[in-house]
Chain A
Amino acid sequence: MKPHTVYIDGLALWAPTLPDWAAARAAMRGETHERPAAGGGPAPPAATVCRPAPAMLAANERRRAPDSVVLALEVAAAAVADSCHDGSTLASVFTSAHGDLPIIDALCTALARAPLLLSPTRFHHSVHNAASGYWAIGSACHAASTALAAFDHSFAAGLLEAACLCAADGEPVLLVGYDTAATGGLASVNRSRGLLGVALVLSPRPGPRSRWRLDWQTQAGKAAAPLLRSPAARAMAANAMADALPLAQALANDSATALALPLSPALHLALALWPHAAATHPPAAA
């Protein structure tokens, strides 16, 4: 099978200590820790923000919206702004291993106690496509939008779907991956901790904002998840969207890379990534 090609026109990442791509990139390159603080003293500790406050939601909605929605909208808007594509025309793929874990915890708690008193808002926040729906409303976008899950391989499965949409329809696609922290009873079965959101705008054609070329294909065979080399990336690995981190790390490093992202125990997504403007030769095969 011949590899397909997409271009990365926009990207974003949000984690509590890394609230945008510039911060995440610097941290994953090891620059944050090495850079001396102004005046020669020790570097100040990174500020921790509980959750993002996406500008596309009105203040009251921002307060009420669940973690998954604010997280997804924050990175979606940042990646689209970075790409210079018009968000109101982009098809989108929202992927999340578990959806909104605090909302599911609250929903199951309410159902166990007093199901007739369940709040309608809590119910509509619990659907897996809540973030996709809010994004469509907030960006006034009528294009196709989907919501996926694939357990430990949710980012890779979302990337496959977004890349397939690009190849099948010849249109740019917004990919948003996000997961939340398990709370309450769910925390006894679910390992996801912290918040992590990642978004990419993929285009089937190179454009003025294309900074990476990404060749991709599915390949049979087991692939081990790539090792996370930076402490910053490892610090986010407890979140269920962690399978996005090897690609984020590669993008932060600015160098041509071959990556194999597992899609299942017997299949992986083989990626060849290189800076679009700089390199003319593909990196060694995965």
Chain B
Amino acid sequence: MTPACIEPVTVLAQGLVCAAGVGVAALSRRLRAGRSSLERNDFTHVPLDTWIGRVAGIESSSLPEALAAWDCRATRLTWMGLQADGFMAAARTALQRHGAARVGLVLGTSASTIGASEQAYRELDAQGRFPAALRSERLNTPHALALFVQEALGLQGPCVTVSTACSSSAKAFAVAERWLRLDMADAVVVSGVDALCDSVLFGFHALGLLSPAPCRPFGAGRSGISIGEAAGFALLERGAGALQLVGYGESNDAHHMSSPHPQGLGAERALDDALARAGISARDIDYLNLHGTASMRNDEVEAALVAQRYGPLVHASATKGVTGHTMGAAGIVEALACLQALADGWLPGSVNAAPLDPALGQAFALRLRSDSLQRRARLAASHSFGFGGNNCVLVFARGARR
């Protein structure tokens, strides 16, 4: 059944840290300049020939003393994201405005704190137990990052982790919209965090999906994905505003655990539902942030969908050439790229895409933009098509009020 149109939800504050640096402006600068942040892998304990989007300064950063029990790479990254763009101050203002019990948290993550568990397994004691410093049930579980943010911000509203691989933090926006609509909360912190870890790097290596060179979404001769890390935050409240979430669609491919539906059936269904909730057509979208992982099959299926459904004037780009594929955080990183494009009128280009894969066709080539462009945009969409066939499409709009 086609979903009904929804009321817009305002995005009041944002926070981002990714390989491009701290703050949404750092990502915008890279996108505008067309410069990648990827570097040769120096993260894994065993050499692995690939490129990564690594956040600088995590190793030398620290958590406040009150949160020290949570210390690991993923929580440090989360803490850096909370500090970015004044997000924490904005969240605290929302807490004062509504009361702690009325502010919810939805956090999307794929690997959560598994990096801490990986370290524990390298350091198991003689009895095969976790080392004392990591022997915490709350630290070694998918919900750990949400518990950490809940404690750091003093939130007491509904709190849940969404873990649907690459669509996790895109779907977090959908959960937040429902909570606001149904009056479960008056404000919702939406987040997406994934830190570099062995499971993801060696896991994608095992699947044969890692590129030995910086990833080249939709590029000719592309050779797979580059893994990145990021922490992103957005504060959502009911009502219209300068920047708004106006639609979302969720679906499943029901095809294969690690490769997309060949006709993009699930992806198109997510797009249709997002457009229906926003009350618009695909041809109304001015800026499209593509999933664009640079895996052979994913890019093919997505390119066909774009060629078929979006208008010839759409400015479509993939930003993973700058950030890497930040897994569960990718949804919010790319949502923030959309919001930034709507706010400042600079539409990002596709870093590392040129020369484009000719097999993707002329219609797609017309829509994919390699260079960033200064152009006012009113509507932006973001695609997140994940592992396990899990898909989500978000639609954002620039509102009347600034």
Contacts and interface: CB of A to CB of B under 8 A. Distances in A.
B389 A147 contact: no
Contact of A188 (B135, B141, B165, B251): B135
B401 interface: no
Interface residues of B, number: 78
Interface in B165-216: 165, 171, 175, 178-179, 181-184, 198-199, 202-208
Contacts of A130: 257, 388
B269 interface: yes
A124 B387 contact: yes
Interface of A: 1, 4, 97-99, 104, 107-109, 111-112, 115-116, 118-120, 122-124, 126-130, 132-134, 136-137, 139-151, 154, 157, 160-161, 164-165, 167-169, 171, 184-186, 188-191, 218, 220, 263-267
B117 A129 contact: no
B65 interface: no
B158 interface: yes
Contacts of B46: 115-116
B143 A150 contact: yes
Given A184-B128, A188-B129, A218 B158 contact: yes
A116 B141 contact: no
Given A112-B121, A266-B101, A140 B254 contact: yes
Contacts, number: 222
A133 B390 contact: yes
B209 to A, nearest CB: 9
17 contacts: A1-B183, A107-B199, A120-B208, A124-B388, A128-B110, A132-B390, A142-B254, A144-B251, A145-B164, A146-B250, A150-B160, A150-B161, A160-B160, A164-B178, A185-B124, A189-B139, A220-B156
Interface in B249-306: 250-258, 265-266, 269, 273
Contact of A220 (B101, B136, B137, B147): B101
Nearest to A131: B388
A134 B256 CA distance: 8
Given A97-B142, A136-B389, A142-B265, 8 more contacts: A108-B120, A111-B199, A111-B202, A128-B164, A132-B388, A141-B254, A149-B142, A186-B130
B182 A4 contact: yes
- Please give me the 6 A-B residue pairs with the lowest Cβ-Cβ distance, nearest first: A133-B388, A123-B203, A128-B163, A144-B250, A188-B129, A149-B142
Contacts of A129: 163-165, 386-388, 390
Contact of B252 (A97, A98, A145, A191): A145
Interface string B38-67: 000000111010000000000000000000
Contacts of A126: 199, 203
A137 B121 contact: no
Contacts of B3: 169
B142 to A, nearest CB: 4
Nearest to A108: B121
